[in-house]
Structure 1
């Protein structure tokens, strides 16, 4: 379960990404003005400490771009090069936002979802003084595997680019920056589906 606070972010996620995307060697544009969210979905952190979200965004003239992000209450040790930026959450305070391909929580939760046929977390709003209310998902995610839970995926090495390739103790996780249809030889995948389409977000081999 993911609890979504009715709060404001300063700067917003899209504002952070508009500044960050043009600094990436794999991003095709010199600017990312007018960035819009196409879809988004979250995974649960078993420790309930780190926010894990996959964003699909696009500029009016640019390609569909996947940015997995993690949200932390303190900096992640040794991950300065993967920092997208910091934002002030009106409920939670300062949040450090990371390109999640190098965050161990994202890698572990994504690899497990792919291997076990897992799906996105159900998101709930906290209403003032009232019950939790489920939110209609902006995007659904589904892993293709049928395995039982196994070893937790741990990062050995991260190679940035498109795709971002994360070598782990359970296999190689490839995260598409510009996701398309499923590669023909891929069997363990994470698919994202929203009202406008469906793409393969990641492959585990």
Structure 2
């Protein structure tokens, strides 16, 4: 029985396109599907907004790119206890170093001041009834990449932060981790 060819998602691909390439007399096959069919819309938007995805880009879908999380210090700004706990645990299990979680603007700024290095952040918009845009402003001013994980409508974001990735609750944790890994890779590239 022949092994299944790897599946790749490609921007602009036709569904079910089978690519066969010959290198040194050996055949290499790959089934290509449209990226929109392989990944969740939020992931496609994240990859496009981070300029990692352009026409013709290919992403192998078997293993999400989580290696960038290893040792990445991620500030978690979330006021819902169970959501914060789950997110911090998932980040830790993926190799990241969660900072927090913190439930308020004041706690977020204190965490930023106490820690020399924050590589990325996950930010809920509503923190105990206070909008977290000031936290977003502080993160942006310090050059710390972040994403929003919220139940709020993305259209409510201030213009200054509309280009940030947003994950609407309830979100799949694996998608959010891939988004955070992308932010960590951005930080590593700047260092």
Would you say same fold, with TM above 0.5?
no
TM-score per shorter chain, which class? under 0.3
Name the structure where strand makes up a greater proportion of residues: 1
Structure with greater Cα Rg: 2
TM-score, L = length of structure 2: 0.26
TM-score, L = length of structure 1: 0.25
